[in-house]
Amino acid sequence: MSTPRSSRPHWRKSTHSGGDEGNCVEVADLSDQIAIRDSKSPETPHLTLTRQAFTTLLTRLR
């Protein structure tokens, strides 16, 4: 049996964000996609990527 997901995404800050500097990126697991947003403007639209595209993004950023 699977656990039902909340209709609201659970956002978490990246461990690589700028600490107290205010440069924070947040991500949320949307089952088959990953959402990315600016924590300083959570009400603005967010970027949604497939899991594969998100993995590719992280690989290229390294």
Instruction: Say what the pTM is.
Output: 0.73
- Other C-beta atoms closer than 10 Å to the C-beta of 62 total 4
* Phi, psi angle pair for 57, to nearest 5°: -60, -50
Is 47 strand, coil or helix? strand
User: Locate tokens 């959570």: which residue?
Assistant: 42
> pLDDT tens digits for 12-38?
987 766 666 666 889 999 999 999 998
Strand partners, 42: none
pLDDT tier for residue 1 given thresholds of 50, 70 and 90: very low
